[in-house]
């Protein structure tokens, strides 16, 4: 005779949840400590999104069978669904520890840990299996990505692809990881291979177009958007990408039409609303705000989209000079961003920042110029400083000169330095003060190899050509730059700390900018940045130039001539006409640099002065303002 629990499990498998729940409860009425009934009912309740009730049954079941991996695993999913990621991670690790050598089950646990942003736990679990399957290596690559070690992810995925050239999963993962590494040539090659292994459709065409846009290959982006359109694309993602492309090309009418099509498909698409905000005229903003607020009430918004739309609404209210409401939205957005950072265990640590500053200065206490070997690459020119300090403006000015190419925000140096520090810690490389000239050459070659623009400008014709690298946070690596690239110059942007910090606070930065969400952290990060830039300016005054943003705006010809002279470039009045050319800029300053130089962005904090006493006090404590 079939038992109650067997009947319950059969009904559960067949999807008859009402009957299954009734039978589970009948069994528990007979035996309140029946583990299978407790586990089954907990799983069922979790399936119908009653996580609070499910937690009670999972807890009882696990207390009765503490080594049951399947109970701990489902219990972990339940806690994740409740938003308690710490408890979920602890339970997931327990489930993996109880699973023995069942690699398949452990991979499921590792996938759960990936969703919980616990890459170190994933790697420790995978290390239990010396010969991982392809699925295991793919999860390991994801873990490396979560750690920011995209170089290691790419290296692992390239090995996988060599072992199995017919795996579409590997090709797709390699394209994604290479894109995050900003190695767009490899990303495009990998995605091209992926398309040969699948039957491409609208989704694949849109993703490839997005990759081409990131790689600044506008023509190819248009081609694949055309393929998507011909295949009948109508998704919000397609229309948003078309809006971005049109905006970059300066076709604002088309950008508006495409952004409107995107929000028509998905009213919770914050990026599309952002495009509409940027292009809308002042008198159009009240109505746009009403539309966004209506969509917030009726739409289904993810946590990320809610954060982003708060910044959008804040910007809209700022433009119509409704500063009190704008500040409340900025504060709300940053508070949500801070909660998100904490959920990732990614808090700004002022003590760690101070220690990092001291370590950098200790390694670069002096500077001895090295002889520059002739090479077939263009020369890099680094423009650094805190975000929102004017790096984009200087790059656009210099890019008007015929032998200067705008390289934009290039992450190659950051990845190179990160890997360098890992190699030093592992004993594979010496500290900077002990590296040989040949060591520096090998490291510099890695930078060139991971920067597509330098590959495009190779050979004797590259001599005399300059490619800018305006990744702001490279101010941390100027000591490395001086030895890596003996011919390279560095321009350090300095700007009123109130404008810099306030401007950062009004933008949604990635998780790597964990200082951006509150005024105390912003002030501390700004102070350490200033100290580092002062150190570099004293260390190598012949190769490092400080440029004051306010002085540049007030005297663009005079300061512009000083900049070009420092870089060994001829001055041209074309440098002031950057706003007349369309640039594939991918920063927050994208639309601003299409305007002439003016002082209207100086003192942007002033309308909000009544709400910024906390920021001012913090800046005063770190000695940045009086």
Q: Which residue would you say has higher pLDDT here, 515 or 457?
A: 515
384, 490 contact by CB (below 8 A): yes
**pLDDT greater at residue 459 or residue 409:** 409
185 pLDDT above the threshold of 90 = no
Contact indicator for 53, 24 with CB cutoff of 8 Å: no
Find residue 494's DSSP bridge partners. 548
Question: What pLDDT shows up at residue 551?
Answer: 96
User: What are the tens digits of pLDDT across the range 309-326?
Assistant: 999 999 999 999 999 999
Rounded average pLDDT over 289-302: 90
**What local confidence, expressed as pLDDT, does residue 25 receive?**
94
Pair 381, 454: CB distance under 8 Å: no
pLDDT at 599 over 60: yes
Give the chain's mean pLDDT. 89
CATH class in words for 351-621: alpha beta
Confidence of residue 598 (pLDDT cuts 50, 70, 90): low
Which pLDDT score, from 0 to 100, does residue 461 have?
A: 63
CA angle 203, 583, 397 (to 5 degrees): 155
Q: Residue 584 — pLDDT band, cuts 50, 70, 90?
A: very low
Q: What is the pLDDT of residues 511-535, one digit of tens each?
A: 778 899 999 999 999 999 999 999 9
Query: Is pLDDT larger for residue 97 or for residue 593?
Result: 97
**Looking at residue 585, what is its pLDDT?**
43
87: phi then psi, degrees, rounded to nearest 5: -65, -40
Exposure class string for 185-214: b at 16+ Cβ within 10 A, else e? ebbbebbebbbeeeebebebbbbbbbbbbb
**In the predicted structure, residue 590 carries a pLDDT above the cut 50:** no
Position 302 confidence tier, pLDDT thresholds 50, 70, 90? confident
CA–CA distance from 38 to each of 33, 91, 200, 464, 563 (Å)? 7, 17, 45, 74, 72
| Dist. CA 540–CA 537, nearest whole Å | 6
User: Lowest mean pLDDT: which of 104-118, 379-393, 486-500?
Assistant: 104-118
In this structure, are residues 98 and 92 in contact, taking their beta carbons and an 8 Å threshold? no
Q: Give residue 87's pLDDT.
A: 92
Give the model's pLDDT for residue 374: 54
Mean predicted confidence (pLDDT) in 149-173: 91
Tokens of 226: 């055309």
Task: Provide the 3-class DSSP secondary structure of residue 507.
Answer: coil
For residues 401 and 569, the answer to whether their CB atoms sit within 8 Å is yes
Residues in the chain, overall count = 626
Name the more confident of 327 and 582: 327
Contact status, residue 31 vs residue 24, Cβ threshold 8 Å:
no
Q: Nearest CA to 490 among 501, 509, 477?
A: 477
Helix (H/G/I), strand (E/B), else coil: 508:
coil
Pure H helices in 433-506: 437-449, 452-456, 478-484, 497-505
Q: Is residue 607 a contact partner of residue 319, using CB atoms and an 8 Å limit?
A: no
Domain ranges of the chain: 351-621
Q: Is the pLDDT of residue 510 over 90?
A: no
Contact 390, 472 (CB under 8 A): no
What is the pLDDT averaged over residues 28-42?
A: 93
Distance (Å, whole) CA 78 – CA 46 = 6
Tokens of 14: 């067949």
Confidence band (pLDDT; 50, 70, 90) for 437? Answer: confident
For residue 347, give the nearest of 144, 520, 508, 472 by alpha carbon. 520
Give the per-residue pLDDT at 460.
Answer: 55
Q: Say yes or no to pLDDT of 466 above 80.
A: yes
CA–CA gap between residue 376 and residue 553 (Å, rounded): 36
pLDDT tens per residue across span 239-284: 999 999 998 888 999 999 999 999 999 999 999 999 999 899 999 9
pLDDT of residue 589: 38
- pLDDT at 194 > cutoff 60: yes
Q: Angle at which helices 202-214 and 168-180 pack, to 10 degrees?
A: 30
Cβ-Cβ contacts under 8 Å for 348 (sequence gap 6 or more): 514, 515, 517, 521, 524, 525
């Amino acid at each position: 005779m079939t038992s109650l629990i067997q009947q319950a499990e059969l009904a559960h498998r067949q999807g008859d949840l009402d009957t299954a729940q009734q039978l589970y409860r009948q069994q528990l009425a007979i035996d309140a400590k029946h583990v299978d009934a407790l586990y089954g009912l907990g799983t069922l309740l979790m399936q119908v999104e009653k996580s609070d009730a499910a937690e009670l049954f999972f807890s009882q079941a696990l207390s009765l069978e503490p080594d049951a991996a399947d109970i701990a695993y489902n219990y972990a999913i339940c806690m994740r669904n409740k938003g308690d990621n710490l408890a979920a991670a602890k339970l997931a690790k327990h489930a993996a520890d109880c699973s023995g050598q069942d690699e398949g089950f452990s991979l499921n646990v590792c996938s759960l840990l990936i969703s919980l942003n616990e890459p170190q736990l994933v790697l420790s679990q995978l290390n239990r299996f010396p010969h991982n399957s392809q699925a295991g290596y793919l999860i390991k690559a994801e873990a490396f990505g979560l750690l920011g070690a995209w170089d290691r992810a790419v290296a692992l995925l390239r090995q996988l692809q060599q072992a199995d050239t017919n795996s579409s999963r590997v090709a797709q993962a390699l394209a994604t990881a290479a894109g995050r590494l900003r190695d767009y040539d490899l990303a495009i090659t990998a995605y091209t291979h992926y398309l040969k292994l699948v039957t491409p459709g609208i989704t694949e065409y849109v993703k490839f177009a997005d990759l081409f846009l990131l790689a600044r290959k506008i023509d190819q982006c248009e081609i694949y958007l055309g393929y998507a359109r011909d295949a009948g694309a109508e998704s919000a993602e397609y229309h948003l990408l078309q809006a971005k492309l049109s905006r970059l090309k300066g076709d604002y009418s088309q950008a508006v039409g495409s952004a409107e099509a995107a929000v028509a498909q998905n009213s919770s698409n914050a990026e599309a609303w952002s495009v509409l905000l940027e292009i809308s005229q002042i008198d159009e903003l009240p109505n746009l705000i009403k539309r966004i607020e209506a969509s917030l009430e009726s739409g289904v918004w993810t946590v990320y989209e809610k954060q982003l739309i708060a910044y959008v609404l804040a910007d809209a209210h700022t433009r119509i000079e409704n500063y009190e409401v704008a500040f409340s939205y900025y504060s709300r957005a940053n508070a949500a961003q801070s909660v998100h950072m904490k959920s990732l265990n990614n808090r700004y640590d002022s003590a760690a920042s101070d220690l990092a500053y001291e370590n950098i200065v200790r390694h670069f206490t002096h500077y001895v110029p090295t002889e520059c070997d002739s090479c077939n690459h263009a020369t890099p020119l680094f423009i650094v400083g805190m975000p929102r300090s004017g790096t984009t403006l200087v790059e656009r000015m210099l890019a008007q000169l015929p032998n200067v190419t705008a390289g934009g925000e290039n992450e190659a140096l950051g990845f190179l330095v990160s890997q360098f520090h890992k190699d030093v810690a592992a004993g594979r490389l010496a500290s900077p003060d002990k590296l040989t000239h040949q060591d520096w050459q090998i490291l510099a070659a890695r930078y060139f190899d991971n920067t597509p623009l330098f590959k495009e400008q190779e050979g004797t014709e590259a001599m005399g050509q300059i490619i800018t690298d305006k990744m702001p946070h490279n101010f941390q690596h100027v000591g490395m730059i001086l030895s890596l690239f003996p011919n390279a110059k560095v321009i350090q942007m300095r700007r009123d700390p109130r404008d810099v910090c306030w401007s950062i606070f009004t933008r949604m930065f990635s998780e790597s900018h964990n200082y951006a969400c509150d005024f105390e952290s912003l002030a501390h990060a700004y102070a350490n940045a200033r100290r580092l830039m002062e150190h570099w300016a004293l260390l190598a005054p012949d190769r490092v130039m400080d440029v004051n943003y306010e002085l540049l705006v007030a005297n663009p010809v005079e300061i512009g001539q000083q900049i070009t002279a420092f870089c060994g470039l001829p001055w041209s009045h074309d440098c002031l006409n950057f706003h007349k050319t369309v640039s594939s800029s991918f920063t927050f300053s994208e639309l601003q640099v299409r305007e002439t130089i003016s002082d209207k962005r100086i003192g942007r904090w002033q309308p909000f002065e009544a709400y910024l006493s906390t920021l001012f006090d913090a800046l005063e404590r770190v000695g940045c303002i009086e």
